[in-house]
A and B are shown apart, each in its own frame.
Chain A
Amino acid sequence: MAVRRAALIALIALGAGSLAFDLSLGARLPSDQDWAEAAGALRGAGRAGDAVQIWPPWAERARLFVDAMPVLAEERLDDADFMGVQRLWMLSLPRTPFFRDPGAALRARGAVPAEGRRFGALLLQGWDLRLPEVAADLTRASEEHEVDYVARRCVRVAVGGRFVARGSAGAALHVRAGVIGERAYDAGRPEIVVLVSADGLGLGSLRVPRTERDGTGWRRLDVALPAGASEREFQFSVSSPDAGRPFCLQAWTTR
């Protein structure tokens, strides 16, 4: 009898709790007005070198409203490059289920927060990323391609071909590369290798194996540049026994 009564109460509580969750979910989500006000604030405060990062990264409804600066949907804030971004506006939905505060990852990489502002269910917070200044955007991509499920500003380079660019050397060279789209996961494919040189001097190589686990497909190489000319010719030679996959490359130098 007691067990039956306990089960009855538990079921009613479970049903009522579930319904309460369902009915209250809408109140934890932003309205059109919240989005419009946040977009208006960004319009007022934005300056060159700003970008908006949405959080969680699925909150892409922001693209309907935010028109003052690029909208980024990086999935890993701890190692996203944010190339060329000086101030990052974190536009988040902190009351959504399983929300993880993005602040910890940004602080860990040395970013410094400014005061946050709430627009209904949205939180907008500026972050000074304190990234080294970009000396040269070597790839200067006008297009974007998806690699590892994030839109990357990178140039397509045919496997077997090379990409050459001239630019300020700065102190360090940063190379990123990966296979576009689902072909990155093609089983049994050989790795793709990018040989990197500046003014004929080999700087290293970036190996891009077949992606086996999501989140590992956008490969990175960061090298300190040896002393030399302030402007150099950088060459990126891409090779693999399998030339059939679409390959994307991004490179820049920092001071």
Chain B
Amino acid sequence: MDHAVTDKALARWMGFGTAAAMALTQGPVGFVRDEGYYFTAAQSYEAWLRLLLHAPLAAVAQTERFWSYNFEHPGLTKLLFALSHGIFTTWLGWLPDTLAWRLPAFAFAGLLSYWLCLLGMSRSRAAGVLAPLLFWCAARTFFHGHLACFDIPICAMWAGVGVAWLEAVRLGTRRSGLWLAAMYGAALAVKHNAWVLPPVLLVHALLQPKQLRKTELLRIPWLLLSPLVLFLAWPLLWHDPGRHLRDWVAFHTHHVHYAWWYFGQVLRAPPFPVIYPLALDALVLPLPTVALLAAAGVSLLAGFARRRLDSQRLMELGLAGAALLPFLTTTTPVFGGIKHWLGFAALLTPEAAALLARVAPAPRQLAAVSLAVLAPGLWQIAHVHPYGTSAYGELAGGIPGAATLGLQRQYWSNNVTAVLPWLNAHCPRGAPVYFHEVNVESYRAYVASGLLRADIRYAPSPAQADYAALQWHREFRDREPETWNAFGTHRPAAGLYLDEVPQVVVYARPGLPGAP
């Protein structure tokens, strides 16, 4: 029992450490396009919370007005962003706006480490420590841990539901059943990915030996309570829930396909390559991590084929597979790098960590091999952060190799932070700047956070701008000649080039400050 308590304490420390690491390194991380929308949503929801405090009946009556914005995602994370901002910025005045909005995201990152540590700890203490480290020691995953978005939160809830399910089965108590219901409800209230979790739990139960199967099947009905959490955390559903639920489902079942560059071809519509998500994981993550995750996948699949998986490993295999499966169907939208199936890599890390610990049972051996495996990822973070969406691993030949192979250069526009100091230093007062992929919501966040001068204006096109900050996207290649035509020059003034590869290119009209 003492040992168990100590294990949990260690897991908690891993969680706190992760959240702290995110908080300490979030400063230079640009505001991704979606954060712009979620910041705006959080402002609206915070206004509703204030109304709820002062006039509860009016707030309940006016949920549509405050919660209709960003109706396509449920409320929990955005509600947390709003609460955090309301407490730490509006009320206490301790934190700047954007840090307050991001704070709950760091908590989810910490929770993910906590649950991965617990899953790893069931094999060995070393596996418990290594599992979260394997997940986070990569520029892409580390980057996502900073964002006020839903990808790390749903990844965390993916693991959290798995842990809650195992606990509910093991303990069989009403309390553990309620906790399972709450955890799954929270997952539902974070992101629609959670729709696929009940079938995973059902299949998990059906694959168990007879006695355990019955026990697990009796846990399933607890999930019927979960929609209550979704309902409570998403006031938009308080009026006309049927319509809003239909809108939510319809948005994701008819989601637009954004262009995505993959091995020299821009993917625009289904069918997408069936191997796409696995290939992308292999290309963007550090090679030793890829090798270990692949070994973990093979190990779990081999154990499954031989019917040697215990309940927890079967759960991990099911959750990892369920995170990936929609993207193997060739019809699910594939934009967004690996962020939509982060749960796949995450749920393989406990097994990968156990394999790592198994090949090096002696502490010094384990330290050496862990360092060897984690060092490329740590270097990737040190080298690429905060431009995580541009990161590629050794298999892709790093960022230059990926550019030669014809792989998506970046996404979400946050890399623009690299050129904001240049714009601040050179733009004349009131200069109109074409920010390209940076949406107006993110532009406002840059101004509000002091990263961009408030007098610099947002221009809708190069023709209406004096400066342009172009984000290199294959599908937006026309913007650069458009800028040349408008400005009458082919020479950039500045830019962000990672390992020589253009990410953001700044042009200035000839004669203006900073123009070459």
Contacts and interface: CB of A to CB of B under 8 A. Distances in A.
A162 to B, nearest CB: 22
A19 B376 CA distance: 5
Interface string A94-116: 00111110000000000000000
A71 B491 CA distance: 10
Nearest to A22: B379
Interface of B is mostly: helix
A58 B502 contact: yes
- The interface centre, meaning the residue of A4, A18, A70 with most chain B CB atoms within 10 A of its CB, is A18
A30 B499 CA distance: 9
Contact of B481 (A30, A64, A151): A151
A187 interface: yes
Contact of A11 (B259, B266, B373, B400): B373
Contact of B359 (A11, A100, A149): A11
B490 interface: yes
B368 A12 contact: yes
Interface string A62-77: 0110010011000000
Contacts of A185: 266, 268
B404 A8 contact: no
A143 interface: yes
Given A8-B369, A22-B379, A145 B502 contact: no
B451 to A, nearest CB: 24
Interface in A142-181: 143-146, 149, 151, 180-181
- Interface range on chain B (Cβ under 8 Å from partner): 35 or more
A60 B502 contact: yes
Contacts of A19: 372, 375-376, 379
B394 A21 contact: yes
A67 B369 contact: no
B46 interface: no
Contact of A144 (B380, B401, B484, B495): B484
Contact of A214 (B264, B373, B501): B264
Contacts of A29: 400, 499-500
Given A8-B365, A58-B502, A22 B269 contact: no
Contact of A18 (B369, B376, B400, B499): B376
Contacts of A67: 491, 516
Interface in A1-49: 4, 7-8, 11-12, 14-19, 21-23, 25-26, 29-30
B372 A15 contact: yes
Given A4-B358, A22-B394, A97-B404, A14 B287 contact: yes
A11 B394 contact: no
B475 interface: yes
Contacts of A93: 400, 500
Given A58-B403, A151-B481, A213-B265, A63 B490 contact: yes
B485 A144 contact: yes
B288 A59 contact: no
Interface string B420-457: 00000000000000000000000000000000000000
A59 B500 contact: yes
Contact of A23 (B379, B482, B495, B501): B379
Interface of B: 259, 264-266, 268-269, 286-288, 291-292, 356, 358-360, 365, 368-369, 371-376, 379-380, 383, 393-394, 397-398, 400-401, 403-405, 474-475, 477-478, 480-482, 484-485, 490-492, 495, 497, 499-502, 505, 516
10 contacts: A15-B376, A22-B376, A29-B400, A58-B404, A60-B505, A97-B398, A143-B481, A145-B482, A149-B477, A182-B475
